[in-house]
Amino acid sequence: MAGKTGYRFGVPILVLFLGVGMLFGHDGFGLEFSSPNAAQFIGVLALNSILFAGGMDTKYQEIKPIIVQGVILATLGVLLTALITGFLIFLLTKHVFTSVSFSLLGAMLLASVMSSTDSASVFAILGSKGLVLKERLRPLLELESGSNDPMAYLLTITFIQWIQTGGDNLWTIAGMLVVQLVLGVALGYLFGKGAIRIINKINLDNESLYPVLMLALLYIIFSVTNAIHGNGYLAVYISGLVIGNSKFVHKKTAKKFMDGMAWLFQIVMFLTLGLLVNPRELLPIAGIGLAISLLMIFVARPLAVWLCLLPFRKMSSKAKHYVSWVGLRGAAPILFATYPWTASVEHAQTIFNIVFFVTLVSLLVQGTTVPVVARWLGLAGESKPVKKLATFDVEMSDDIKSSMSEIVLTEAHLSHGKRIMDMPLPEKTLVVMVKRGESYFVPRGSTLLEPDDILLVISDNEQGTGEAYSSNAK
């Protein structure tokens, strides 16, 4: 997904799409777009695709050692962030920024909207330059960011209902919160298993329809779960996790398709949310927006993370500091900010503008410094260059542990002899195809090779092959 894409110019690239949306909006080139309902609909489609693709890309073996920490951060961490931030916002509007007035419930609603870290931004930045993190931090951060949006959504809806009912049905709302979480997990798992059976059993003549079928199943999972009052976002993420860690036909093609759809939807979502904002409306709330941003970055998020990770003493203080810092806000909080707007909650427009401002500050301050802070804290490991085939457009299943590489032959490589059988290849290494000029052919042991031939090699000893032909291994 877009998590495989970098950021450019020192700024997360997704911020540029927010800027493009604002540039073409009412205060820019004059494109009129002021429908929070339309933006919310587009955002729901996008967030589902992003969460599903994130779940598919998450390998269970990688998150297994840190799954408890990740789940705690994605649930209790979001709740603590919302409560701490909400209380601070209430104090700010009561004693400092009196021009903006929020009740305690209103402040909690605003904080809930911003309480989750954004999966799109975290995946994009962590994957930008193959950033390698120590202490299993990368899977922890990806698990947290990929699974904490459902909790933020639940808190947002809960406080909206609380404000509208005046707190009369508090226990009913609390019960609904538990039911949504339980149904979201249960239905996500069951639908994920069911989707695998459908994909493996159905026989489609056109193979390109399998990814389309998966996309359709994704939205069916969300719609059905929501219809029976479960958390659709959580169900989608869990089903993506189940499907991504199962065997099914055309798996690699489906994962690439979902990655592409997630990237496309992220662009569309950021553009749409950018169109919805009028930059001049951000100026009156810039002061309180900056204050809330700094409080979330330096107070609320670190305090919530440290409280959640307190029982995990094997985790270093530096690692906890880093998890605190990678609390990026993104498109999900802006999307959730449309819910108070469509529900006609008091100060809904102000809430949306503040969330947008806080998101920009978070992405520009935290997003641009994620790799730098990792190096400062000594948590950045050595990144290994990703070897990609440039000549042969072939792939192997993830279940096959052998590796493929390309070797461009030189005169030095042929010094041992010009036949394949003369080449000093490591054990369990096979040359399966040769490209000479514009022609491709399958070689034999007696095949005579020439300089500039490109060999496609499959090996169980990737390191040995790379060392033998390091100057040209790709």
Residues 211, 56: Cα–Cα separation, whole Å: 13
Residue % of the chain over a pLDDT of 70: 88
pLDDT of residue 473: 40
pLDDT of residue 169: 65
Residues 201, 425: Cα–Cα separation, whole Å: 42
Q: Band of the pLDDT at 120, cuts 50, 70, 90? A: low
What predicted TM-score, i.e. pTM, was given to this entire model? 0.81
Please, are residues 268 and 48 in contact by the beta-carbon 8 Å criterion? no
Tens-digit pLDDT profile for residues 324-355: 999 888 878 988 999 999 999 988 999 999 99
The pLDDT of 223-244, averaged and rounded, is: 93
Q: Report the alpha-carbon angle 181-248-150, nearest 5.
A: 20
Q: Which residues contact residue 123 at a Cβ distance below 8 angstroms, ignoring those fewer than 6 apart?
A: 1, 2, 3, 4, 54, 57, 142, 145, 146
pLDDT of residue 463: 58
pLDDT of residue 10: 41
> Is the per-residue pLDDT at 18 higher than 90?
no
Beta partners for 433?
A: 456
Residue 449: name the closest of 419, 423, 421, 424 by CA: 419
pLDDT of residue 466: 55
Tens-digit pLDDT profile for residues 281-290: 888 899 999 9
SS3 state of residue 431: strand
Q: How many CA atoms lie within 13 A of 199 on its CB side?
A: 28
Residues 353, 314: Cα–Cα separation, whole Å: 40
Measured in degrees and rounded to the nearest 5, phi and psi for residue 384 equal -100, 130
More confident position, 320 or 277? 320
> Is the per-residue pLDDT at 274 higher than 70?
yes
Q: Band of the pLDDT at 167, cuts 50, 70, 90? A: low
Choose the weakest-confidence range: 71-80, 176-185, 391-400: 391-400
pLDDT of residue 417: 84
Q: Band of the pLDDT at 57, cuts 50, 70, 90? A: confident
Residues 279, 283: Cα–Cα separation, whole Å: 7
Q: Is the dihedral of CA 176, 172, 83, 69 positive or negative?
A: negative
The length of the chain in residues reads: 474
